[in-house]
């Protein structure tokens, strides 16, 4: 089977159009109304780039490509259709890992091509090939570990062991040394290259393993940016502009998102990556804040009392956390909010930037439950409102309302901007147990005089509340 | 510049044997120019995306780096030995998963945002 070939300039022009479509697509993502259109625009750009590549005259056989596209397409489509919205972060991690893996393989095959032709690798090509392979491989295995952590296949805890940092540093320096040697050498050396590739894959695992599950969103965003850069590096070695442009766009986007997330948690990126946040607690007793809390008791509230408070409130602010999504309570919460609104209660949702397992994850989960996005307020908009709120309803959220972030300098989350739930007249906290949150930190809000705990599964409690509010 | 631009008929065009160092440098500078400008474009477009759309943005840009599939197709389109074919096949599979999965999942998410304008019915 042969397809007609397009002249090189037509291919390049089509790549240019595709690049423009990607940029316009991302631009449209800036408003919820045009976002879907933006994604479609980018997909059209992708289709165009792929079709003209198929008609590129350097493509001589179609069998491998056709088989690969059919298999990959089926896997991708099934995964994308089946995945639950709560599992979105690990799905993105997996798709990201595939891209990284592809970039690493393409770079490696470029290297092999030099070896087969018996030609020396020029320094520029050597650097871009090795960069693409290293970043791609790191992103591939790193994403798989991130997926495992979020999916619960690997422990969510930050895995630490003695000499971890020195070992990682040594491995990194080793990879660097081998890369420099390979570039200086010029003559392709597939055996050494294989060691380089294996070490890069291992590095991805060791890089992500010591990072706690709570920080996985940052890691995924960072790895997303890595895959983008690996793609750009591949573009450098193939001198393909559409690869350079799109890879760089993604690299920039991932870097910016990573930065914004770290800012929202008020932790420098180095702390996220190397701080082993959320490691198993050390055997030295509880932190000072927790010790101060040990004497206090929390106050329980019955479903009926909570329902009465909500039903006769003027203003209620709902603070959803990942626990709500895990319990699949978002639909029930929307019903509860609708019921309260029908009674004339002013209901708002307060969304913390790191609520959920990804930036903006909570917005997606609430959108799935048909909550209009106009009722979702971010931290800066909603914080002044708590003073005048009668009830703050915290559902499955914990660290994002922990006042220790404001006052306790010894707390690991000190300085993180939080939702000022404690400023509301009453705070009702729906929680399964007194177990600390993802970050493993005690929450003094629970012991606050105006706070009440409503223990139980979020979905169950919400439906009970719903019945009770109807009766109130 | 696409790899075929200067070597029409060769089964696998090689860059190193072209015009030596000056040409390589010139090409590197062109590639770098595009790279640097793309950083600025990326930064400017993305800094305007609101937080509520960050998850779709992450997943949408994730789909875009699936463009590496173009590279995978270029290496898979050359008839080579079995080892290369297997690796190239794997690259195409992985790249396609990235593209197809990425765009579909983003669309699924954005579908939920669309049509929920301020005038959405409230019961």
- Of A312 and B122, which is predicted with more confidence? A312
Give residue A294's pLDDT: 53
Q: Is A142 within 8 Å of A230 (Cβ atoms)?
A: no
Give residue A269's pLDDT: 85
Read off the pLDDT of each residue in A15-22 and give the average, rounded to a whole number.
Answer: 95
Q: CA dist A319 to A98, A468, B22, Å?
A: 35, 20, 61
Per DSSP, the three-state class of B94 is helix
pTM more than 0.90: no
Read off the pLDDT of each residue in A334-338 and give the average, rounded to a whole number.
Answer: 92
Give residue A86's pLDDT: 83
- Of A266 and A300, which is predicted with more confidence? A300
Give residue B12's pLDDT: 47
**Residue A360 region by backbone torsions, left for phi larger than 0, else alpha for psi between -120 and 50, else beta:** left
From B73, B92, B99, B34, select the one nearest A241 (Cα to Cα): B34
From A396, A392, A391, A332, select the one nearest A361 (Cα to Cα): A396
Per DSSP, the three-state class of B52 is helix
pLDDT at A286 over 70: no
What is the count of structural domains for chain B? Answer: 1
Mean pLDDT, chain A, as a whole number?
A: 87
Read off the pLDDT of each residue in A351-375 and give the average, rounded to a whole number.
Answer: 82
Give residue B115's pLDDT: 54
By Cβ distance, the residue of A32, A114, A250 closest to B64 is: A250
Tell me, yes or no, whether B9 lies in a domain.
no
Give residue B122's pLDDT: 40
- Taking the CA of residue B23 and the nearest CA in chain A, the distance in Å comes to 11
- Residue numbers in B near A224 (CB within 8 A): 58, 61-62, 65
According to the per-residue pLDDT averaged within each range, which of A2-11, A68-77, A152-161, B54-63 is highest?
A: A68-77
* Substitution target from B17, B29, B64, B92 for chain A, most A beta carbons within 10 A: B64
Per DSSP, the three-state class of B2 is coil
d(CA A424, CA A388): 7
Q: In terms of CA atoms, which chain A residue is nearest residue B4?
A: A58
Q: Which residue has the tokens 């009722």?
A: A375
By Cβ distance, the residue of B62, B63, B122 closest to A341 is: B122
Q: Which residue has the tokens 């699949």?
A: A328
In this predicted model, what pLDDT tens digit does every residue of B33-92 receive, in sequence order?
999 999 999 998 888 788 778 888 889 999 999 999 999 999 898 877 888 999 999 999
Tell me, yes or no, whether B116 lies in a domain.
no
Q: In terms of CA atoms, which chain A residue is nearest residue B74?
A: A59
Tell me, yes or no, whether B91 lies in a domain.
yes
Give residue A285's pLDDT: 38
A215, A300, A399, A448: the active-site residue: A399
Tell me, yes or no, whether B103 lies in a domain.
yes
Read off the pLDDT of each residue in A325-342 and give the average, rounded to a whole number.
Answer: 88
pLDDT at B102 over 90: yes
Burial of A384 (0-12, 13-18, 19+ CB in 10 A): exposed
Tell me, yes or no, whether B105 lies in a domain.
yes
From A218, A210, A216, select the one nearest A158 (Cα to Cα): A210
At A49, the pLDDT band (50, 70, 90 cuts) reads very high
Tell me, yes or no, whether B88 lies in a domain.
yes
Q: In terms of CA atoms, which chain A residue is nearest residue B73?
A: A65
At A296, the pLDDT band (50, 70, 90 cuts) reads low
Give residue B73's pLDDT: 93
Give residue B11's pLDDT: 44
At A279, the pLDDT band (50, 70, 90 cuts) reads low
- Residue numbers in B near A92 (CB within 8 A): 58-59, 62, 105
What is the predicted ipTM?
0.82
Of A56-70, A331-345, B7-21, B47-61, where does mean pLDDT reach its minimum?
B7-21
Share of chain A above pLDDT 70, in %: 94
Give residue A457's pLDDT: 86
Give residue A334's pLDDT: 92
pLDDT at A280 over 80: no
What domain range is B27 assigned to? 21-111
DSSP B67: G
Burial of A283 (0-12, 13-18, 19+ CB in 10 A): exposed
Give residue A111's pLDDT: 93
Give residue B34's pLDDT: 94
d(CA A369, CA A328): 10
Give residue A437's pLDDT: 62
In this predicted model, what pLDDT tens digit does every residue of A171-189 receive, in sequence order?
999 999 999 999 998 899 9
Read off the pLDDT of each residue in A383-388 and give the average, rounded to a whole number.
Answer: 91
Give residue B38's pLDDT: 94
In this predicted model, what pLDDT tens digit does every residue of B18-29 receive, in sequence order?
445 577 788 889
Give residue A339's pLDDT: 92
Q: Does B4 touch chain A (CB under 8 A)?
A: yes
Q: Does B29 touch chain A (CB under 8 A)?
A: no
Q: Are B87 and A108 in contact (CB < 8 Å)?
A: yes
Of A197-211, A264-278, A317-331, B24-38, where does mean pLDDT reach its minimum?
A264-278
d(CA A417, CA A241): 41
- Of A402 and A174, which is predicted with more confidence? A174
By Cβ distance, the residue of A64, A112, A231 closest to B92 is: A64
Share of chain A above pLDDT 90, in %: 46
- Residue numbers in A near B59 (CB within 8 A): 88, 92, 95
Give residue A414's pLDDT: 79
Q: Is A215 a catalytic residue?
A: no
The 3-state secondary structure of chain A reads: CCCCCECHHHHHHHHHHHHHHHHHHHHHCCCCCCHHHHHHHHHHHHHHHHHHHHCECCCCCCHHHHHHHHHHHHHHHHHHHHCCHHHHHHHHHHHHHHHHHHHHHHHHHHHHHHHHHCCCCCHHHHHHHHHHHHHHHHHHHHHHHHHHHHHCCCCCCECCCCCHHHHHHHHHHHHHHHHHHHHHHCCCCHHHHHHHHHHHHHHHHHHHCCCCHHHHHHHHHHHHHHHHHHHHHHHHHHCCHHHHHHHHHHHHHHHHHHHHHHHHHCCCHHHHHHCCCCECCCCCCCCHHHHHHCCCCCCECCHHHHHHHHHCCCEEEEEECHHHHHCCCHHHHHHHHHHHHHCCCEEEEEECCCCCCCCCHHHHHHHHCCCCHHHEEEHHHHHHHHHHCCEEEEECCCHHHCCHHHHCCCCCCCCCCCCCHHHCCEEEEEECCCCCCCCCCCCHHHHCCCEEEEECCHHHHHHHHHHHHHHC
In this predicted model, what pLDDT tens digit does every residue of A29-43 receive, in sequence order?
888 888 999 999 999
Give residue A389's pLDDT: 92
Tell me, yes or no, whether B37 lies in a domain.
yes
Tell me, yes or no, whether B7 lies in a domain.
no
pLDDT at A283 over 80: no
d(CA A352, CA A421): 11
Q: Does B22 touch chain A (CB under 8 A)?
A: no
* Substitution target from A228, A250, A344, A369 for chain B, most B beta carbons within 10 A: A250
Which are the contacts of A322, defined by CB distance < 8 A and separation ≥ 6?
A: A355, A356, A357, A361, A362, A396, A397, A438
Give residue A416's pLDDT: 82
Give residue A225's pLDDT: 94
- Taking the CA of residue A44 and the nearest CA in chain B, the distance in Å comes to 10
Give residue B51's pLDDT: 77
By Cβ distance, the residue of A236, A251, A372 closest to B120 is: A372
- Of A147 and B80, which is predicted with more confidence? A147
């Amino acid at each position: 089977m042969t397809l007609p070939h397009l002249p090189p300039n037509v291919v390049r022009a089509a790549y240019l159009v595709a690049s423009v479509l990607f940029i316009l697509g991302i631009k449209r993502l800036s408003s919820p109304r045009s976002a879907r259109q933006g994604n479609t625009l980018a997909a059209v750009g992708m289709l165009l780039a792929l079709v003209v590549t198929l008609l590129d005259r350097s493509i001589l056989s179609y069998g491998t490509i056709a088989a690969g596209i059919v298999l990959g397409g089926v896997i991708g489509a099934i995964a994308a259709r089946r995945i639950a919205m709560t599992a979105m972060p690990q799905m993105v991690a997996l798709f990201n890992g595939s891209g990284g893996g592809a970039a690493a393989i393409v770079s490696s095959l470029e290297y092999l091509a030099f070896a087969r032709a018996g030609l020396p690798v020029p320094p520029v090509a050597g650097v871009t090939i090795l960069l693409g392979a290293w970043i791609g491989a790191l992103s591939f295995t790193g994403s798989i570990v991130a997926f495992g952590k979020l999916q619960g296949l690997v422990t969510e805890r930050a895995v630490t062991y003695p000499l971890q940092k020195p070992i990682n540093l040594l491995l990194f320096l080793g990879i660097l040394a081998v890369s420099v040697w390979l570039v200086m050498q010029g003559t392709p050396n597939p055996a050494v290259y294989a060691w380089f590739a294996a070490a890069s894959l291992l590095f991805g695992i060791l890089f992500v393993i010591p990072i706690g599950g709570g920080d996985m969103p940052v890691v995924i965003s960072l790895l997303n940016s890595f895959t983008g850069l690996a793609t750009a590096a591949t573009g450098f070695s193939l001198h393909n502009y559409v690869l350079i442009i799109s890879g760089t766009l993604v690299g920039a986007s991932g870097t910016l998102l990573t930065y914004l997330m770290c800012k929202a948690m008020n932790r420098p990126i180095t702390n996220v990556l190397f701080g082993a946040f959320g490691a198993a607690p050390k055997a030295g007793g509880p932190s000072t804040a927790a010790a101060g809390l040990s004497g206090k008791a929390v106050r329980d509230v019955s479903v009926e009392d909570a329902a009465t408070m909500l039903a006769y409130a003027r203003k209620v602010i709902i603070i959803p956390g990942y626990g709500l999504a895990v319990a699949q309570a978002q639909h029930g919460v929307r019903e509860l909010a609708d019921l309260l609104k029908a009674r004339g209660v002013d209901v708002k949702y307060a969304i913390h930037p790191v609520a959920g397992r990804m930036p903006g994850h909570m917005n997606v989960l609430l959108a799935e439950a048909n909550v209009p996005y106009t009722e979702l307020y971010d931290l800066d908009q909603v914080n002044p409102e708590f003073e005048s709120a009668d009830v703050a309803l915290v559902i499955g959220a914990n660290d994002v309302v922990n006042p220790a972030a404001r006052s306790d300098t010894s707390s690991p989350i000190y300085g993180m901007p939080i939702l000022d739930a404690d400023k509301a007249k009453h705070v009702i906290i729906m929680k399964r147990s007194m177990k600390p949150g993802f970050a493993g930190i005690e929450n003094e809000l629970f012991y606050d005089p105006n706070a009440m705990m409503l223990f139980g599964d979020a979905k169950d409690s919400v439906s009970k509340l719903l019945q009770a509010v109807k009766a109130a | 510049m696409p790899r075929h631009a200067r070597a029409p008929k060769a089964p696998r065009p090689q860059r190193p044997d072209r015009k030596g160092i000056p040409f390589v440098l010139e090409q590197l500078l062109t590639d770098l120019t595009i790279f640097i400008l793309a950083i600025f474009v990326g930064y400017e477009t993305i800094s305007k995306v609101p937080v509520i759309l960050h998850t779709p943005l992450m997943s949408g840009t994730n789909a875009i780096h699936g463009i590496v599939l173009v590279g995978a197709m270029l290496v898979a389109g050359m008839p080579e030995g079995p080892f290369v074919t297997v690796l190239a096949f794997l690259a195409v599979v992985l790249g396609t998963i990235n593209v197809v999965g990425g765009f579909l999942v983003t669309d699924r998410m954005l579908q939920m945002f669309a049509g929920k304008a301020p005038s959405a019915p409230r019961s």
